[in-house]
């Protein structure tokens, strides 16, 4: 499906093992040409795919709550889709983290009056100029204007009561970034993981800005303890998944982490680790591991 391929390509732009964006043309063209498509998650709850991270929208009597907001150029498209689904303007948007492909839409929604919510570390990062090391390139992300910043933040957790269900926001320390949020729609038994969980390739760990492979494993493990086997799991990029998929992801990352740690203990360099192929049996499912291994190695060496 085109939305999965383009989402995967945008994932590549932040270090995921996925088709290069160049294969689909430039970003401007993708933003212009890509439609928003939707998949129902339950009554009044939908996942939206376009360019950038997957979105969830809750539509009901109290209004519209969105999780993530892609790029400003996509905002008119997903606002139209929300109207088709029975909603109006977006009242709240929760940023799962601060990376551009999940939060740049703040610059369209904030000035329109949408209340933006994020972990306190994500607000801090959005207030400053940042560089994201994508391994093959570096992406500058300038500080956001005041109107695009989160106006509500939290440290460990907070709760919405919106459209007839509790919506729980949880943070478990540095993982994909230092400001990740899992969003659990308790009435629907659905969780949005942001880029801590990815079904389009290996995860990207923003190690230069505090991200951690150990943290990704811990974050996902903590979420598994708070959901159940019937929970629908929405990743930052890629198709909607299940509890079992998230469980397998944690097992895969734990296996790779243990292999990397052993190689590092033996004095292996990054080049020697790549040559040892510690992800070999997972590559068919997850793609090229080069960027993942680089960032995972960097975080493990830093955290020793």
Q: Could you read off the pLDDT of 53-73 as tens digits, one per residue?
A: 999 999 999 999 999 999 999
The answer to whether 141 and 102 are in contact (CB under 8 A) is: no
Identify the CA nearest to 221 among candidates 258, 173, 177: 173
Q: Could you read off the pLDDT of 182-222 as tens digits, one per residue?
A: 999 999 999 999 999 999 999 999 999 999 999 999 999 99
User: Quick one: pLDDT at residue 12?
Assistant: 39
Sorting pLDDT into bands at 50, 70 and 90, what band is 136?
very high
Neighbouring C-beta atoms of residue 288, cutoff 10 Å = 16
pLDDT of 18 above 60 = no
Buried b (16+ CB within 10 A) or exposed e, 88-119: eebbbbbbbbbbbbbbbbbbbbbeeebebbbb
| Average pLDDT value for residue range 150-167 | 98
User: Quick one: pLDDT at residue 22?
Assistant: 34
The CA distance from 24 to 30, in Å, is 7
pLDDT of 88 above 50 = yes
Alpha helices, DSSP H only, in the chain?
Answer: 2-13, 27-33, 75-84, 100-103, 106-109, 120-126, 213-224, 243-265, 270-276, 283-286, 290-302
In this structure, CATH architecture of domain 2-302: 4-Layer Sandwich (3.60)
Neighbouring C-beta atoms of residue 230, cutoff 10 Å = 8
Q: Percent of the chain at pLDDT above 70?
A: 92
pTM (two decimals) = 0.92
pLDDT of 137 above 60 = yes
User: Quick one: pLDDT at residue 14?
Assistant: 36
pLDDT of 17 above 50 = no
135, with CB counted inside 10 A (0-12, 13-18, 19+), is middle
User: Quick one: pLDDT at residue 24?
Assistant: 38
Q: Could you read off the pLDDT of 89-107 as tens digits, one per residue?
A: 999 999 999 999 999 999 9
Sorting pLDDT into bands at 50, 70 and 90, what band is 112?
very high
The CA distance from 47 to 199, in Å, is 15
User: Quick one: pLDDT at residue 20?
Assistant: 34
Both ends of the chain: CA-CA distance in Å? 41
The token pair that represents 177 in the structure block: 């970034």
User: Quick one: pLDDT at residue 26?
Assistant: 83
The CA distance from 59 to 86, in Å, is 7
Q: Percent of the chain at pLDDT above 90?
A: 90
User: Quick one: pLDDT at residue 268?
Assistant: 97
Of 136 and 14, which is predicted with more confidence?
Answer: 136
Domain boundaries, the chain: 2-302
| Average pLDDT value for residue range 32-59 | 98
Buried b (16+ CB within 10 A) or exposed e, 30-69: bbeebebebeebeebbbbbbbbbbbbbbbbbeeebbbbbb
């Amino acid at each position: 499906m085109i939305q999965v391929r383009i989402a995967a390509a945008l994932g590549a732009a932040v270090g995921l093992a996925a088709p290069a964006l160049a294969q689909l043309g430039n970003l401007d063209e993708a933003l212009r040409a890509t439609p928003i498509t939707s998949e129902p998650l339950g009554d009044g709850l939908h996942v939206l795919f376009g360019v950038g991270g997957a979105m969830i929208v809750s539509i009901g009597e109290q209004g519209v709550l969105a999780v993530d907001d892609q790029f400003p150029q996509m905002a008119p498209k997903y606002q139209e889709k929300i109207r088709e689904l029975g909603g109006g303007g977006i009242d709240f948007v929760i940023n799962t983290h601060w990376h551009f492909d999940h939060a740049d839409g703040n610059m369209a929604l904030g000035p329109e009056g949408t209340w933006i919510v994020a972990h306190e570390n994500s607000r801090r990062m959005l207030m400053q100029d940042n560089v994201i090391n994508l391994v093959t390139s570096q992406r500058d992300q300038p500080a956001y204007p005041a109107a695009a910043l989160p106006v509500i933040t939290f440290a460990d957790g907070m709760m919405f009561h919106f459209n007839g269900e509790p919506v729980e926001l949880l943070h478990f320390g540095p993982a994909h970034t230092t400001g990740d949020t899992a969003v659990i729609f308790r009435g629907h038994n659905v969780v949005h993981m942001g880029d801590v969980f990815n079904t389009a390739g290996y995860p990207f760990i923003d190690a230069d800005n505090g991200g951690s492979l150990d943290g990704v494993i811990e974050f996902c493990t903590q979420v598994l303890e708070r959901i159940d086997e019937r929970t629908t799991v929405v990743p930052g990029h890629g198709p909607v998944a299940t509890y079992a998929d998230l469980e397998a992801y944690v097992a895969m990352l734990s296996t790779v982490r243990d292999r990397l740690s052993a190689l590092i203990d033996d004095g292996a360099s990054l080049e020697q680790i790549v040559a040892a192929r510690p992800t070999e049996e997972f590559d068919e499912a997850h793609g090229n591991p080069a960027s993942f291994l680089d960032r995972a190695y960097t975080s493990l060496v830093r955290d020793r």
